[in-house]
Amino acid sequence: MDKRDFDAVVVGSGPNGLAAAIAMQQAGLSVLLLESKDTIGGGLRSAELTQPGFVHDICSAIHPLAADSPYFKTLPLHAHGLEFITPPIAAAHPFDNGTAAALGLSLDETARQLGKDATSYLRLIKPLVHNWAKLAPDTLGPLTIPSHPVAMARFGLSALMPATELAAMHFKTTEARGLWAGMAAHSIQPLSNLATSAIGLVLMAMGHINGWPIPKGGSHSIAKALSSYFVMLGGKIETNFHVSSLKQLPSAHAVLLDVTPKQLLQIAGHTFSPLYKWQLERYRYGMGVFKIDWALDGPIPFTAPACRQAGTIHLGNTLEEITQNEELTSKGRHPEKPFVLLAQQSLFDATRAPAGKHTAWAYCHVPNGSETDMTEAIEKQVERFAPGFRDLILARHTMHTSQMEAYNPNYIGGDINGGIIDIGQLFTRPALRLSPYRTSTKGIYICSSSTPPGGGVHGMCGYHAAKRALKDIFKLKIAPLG
């Protein structure tokens, strides 16, 4: 093997870029991690966006998959300053009548609040909770022969269903159907689409396994711990290094890019085969998000008590209302009552705001590329379930889809998932290949959320891309996870 500046160069320091860099460095290679911004992290950044002393998560906020990532769990991140805080209720879903359904840490208690749907809930979620340790490495990875085929088949039969169909099959009560709709809406697509049940099932199971934890101090704490460990291993990080061409990179045997197909084509498209390039050009992005951060004079006064104990709140009322509004958004409309995901980290993490004050974080889905200001619609949704909320607002910071993309070029049109994860791209992201992480050019790999398993802070896209590169280029195998 000829002499190079580095064995591997990783472009992009989001959770997947960091995971790829760590995995390569763990294998004994020399690795350079490049980041275009002045700080590392990608979607794992926090800042005082509104007023001094109010720490806001710029993108990701709540991290069930980070806490239970099969790869991150193998890393000594606690020793590098990462501490998770687990709210007593993972997520609450309020209704117009002042009540709320809640995803609690206890599987049985969560089921009991669902009344006559309790048995159905247990039948659906309990096997996934019990089998998750077996299923996680295969579920959070590329399509392959499963290690536990019976358990995977059982999960797959439900996961591939449209969320609306699964609800009709299992749930009768308003509470269970609403709670389920809020979970499935994390798929960021119409709930009538195939495979929209997958994310809902996983998120519900996560609530009973480790809860939905919050990183103390902000989401940037995850990136700081990962980068600290990488540097301790001997890795090198260079910030303020924007990559628009392979010619800018130092010589290396392998290049791993934490970018989506749009940027991948810009950086390395001239080296790709016509077929691979054709597939990348047809890659599809999904709905975007409009996001608000608030500095508040006190905690959000939700009517339902469960909402005042939850880290995450899903605002959308019934399954029918959420389904209708997500469908409208997918068709290019801006609903008057959008589905809103809200996090209230400062209730559980005192480092986020000055004494007696609070922060809140929320977004709704919007058409890809929309620059419509959804502030009024979002705040009306919060006020709907928490009368008096607006009186507490000290300051706000908003970001529409173009601003989200300017902050992180991977958020094409505001799509925070690196491309829609519908049935057409579930198994073929970013292209139909034996390995989704290989490009058509030897030594160049894609390791972003545009590869399996998709969006979320888990690092598994980066881990699997590194594993592929280690085998292809360096003839090294790393032990399987789980």
Q: What is the pLDDT of residues 374-395, one digit of tens each?
A: 999 999 999 999 999 999 999 9
Q: Please name every residue paired with 103 in a beta bridge, in sequence order, or none if there are none.
A: 91
Which residues is 393 bridged to in the sheet? 296
Q: What is the mean pLDDT of residues 273-296?
A: 98
What does CATH list as the number for 86-212+286-407? 3.90.660
Statement: residue 119 has pLDDT above 90:
yes
Q: Where are the alpha helices (DSSP H) in 51-196?
A: 64-67, 107-112, 118-139, 149-159, 163-170, 174-184
Dihedrals φ, ψ of 449, to 5°?
-70, 0
The predicted model gives 60-82 an average pLDDT of 96
| pTM (two decimals) | 0.96
Are 113 and 179 a contacting pair, CB within 8 Å? no
As a whole number of angstroms, the distance between CA 83 and CA 71 comes to 17
For residue 172, the one-letter residue type is K
Please state the domain extents for the chain. 6-82+215-283+420-474, 86-212+286-407
Say what the pLDDT of residue 4 is. Answer: 76
Percent of residues in the chain assigned helix, strand, coil, to nearest 5: 40, 15, 40
Q: Is the pLDDT of residue 1 over 60?
A: no
- The encoded tokens of residue 231 equal 């540097």
The Cα 149–Cα 139 span in angstroms is 11
Measuring CA to CA, how many Å separate 288 from each of 109, 147, 329, 473?
Answer: 35, 35, 9, 36
Mean predicted confidence (pLDDT) in 335-340? 98
Residue 216: C-alpha distances to residues 57, 180, 196, 374 (Å): 11, 28, 31, 29
Locus of tokens 């206890």: 106
Strand partners, 362: 292, 342
Residue of 206, 247, 181 whose CA lies nearest to 189: 181
**Closest listed residue to residue 199, CA positions, set 420, 447, 16, 41:** 420
Closest CA to 318 of 168, 187, 118, 177: 177
Alpha-carbon dihedral angle through residues 88, 94, 98, 99, given to the nearest 10 degrees: -60
88 has a pLDDT exceeding 70: yes
At 433, which amino acid appears? R
With a cut of 50, say whether residue 475 has pLDDT above it: yes
- Averaged confidence pLDDT in the chain: 96
H/E stretch holding 366 reads strand 358-366
Judged by average pLDDT, the poorest of 219-228, 325-334, 419-428 is 419-428
Instruction: For 318-331, write each residue's pLDDT tens digit.
Output: 999 999 999 999 99
> Tell me, what DSSP letter sits at residue 251?
P
Q: How far apart are CA 224 and CA 206, in angstroms?
A: 24
The pLDDT confidence band at residue 181, using thresholds 50, 70 and 90, is very high
pLDDT at position 145: 87
Q: What pLDDT is stored for residue 143 in this prediction?
A: 87
* Residue 12, pLDDT above cutoff 80: yes
Asked if the 6-82+215-283+420-474 domain carries CATH number 3.50.30.50, the reply is: no
Residue 2 has pLDDT above 70, yes or no: no
Local confidence band at 345 (pLDDT 50, 70, 90 cut-offs) = very high
Cβ pair 460, 71 in contact under 8 A: yes
